[in-house]
Amino acid sequence: MNEKIESIKSNIENGGNIIRFKRNNRRIGKIILQSKHGKKKVIGLFGDELKEVAKFYYDWLENKEN
């Protein structure tokens, strides 16, 4: 679970961006990342890791707006 969050954080630190966070239901979702070179990466999320990534995503959005 932490591996996926660390992957997302490293993508952002290296100049990447989060394109989309989509929740299909309470247990399944995905996040789409884009590197600074335009390459896209899709990460599937399930169960508790979906909750953790959702918290991280909404915190990231708040910081991005401020």
Burial class of residue 33 (count of CB atoms within 10 Å of its CB; 0-12, 13-18, 19+): buried
Token representation of residue 27: 């247990």
Is 24's pLDDT higher than 90?
yes
Whole-angstrom Cα distance, residue 45 to residue 30?
Answer: 5
Q: Is 10 helix (H, G, I), strand (E, B) or coil?
A: helix
Is 23's pLDDT higher than 70?
yes
Q: What does the pLDDT look like over 26-47, one tens digit per residue?
A: 899 999 999 999 999 999 999 9
Is 1's pLDDT higher than 70?
no
Beta bridge partners of 33: 18, 41
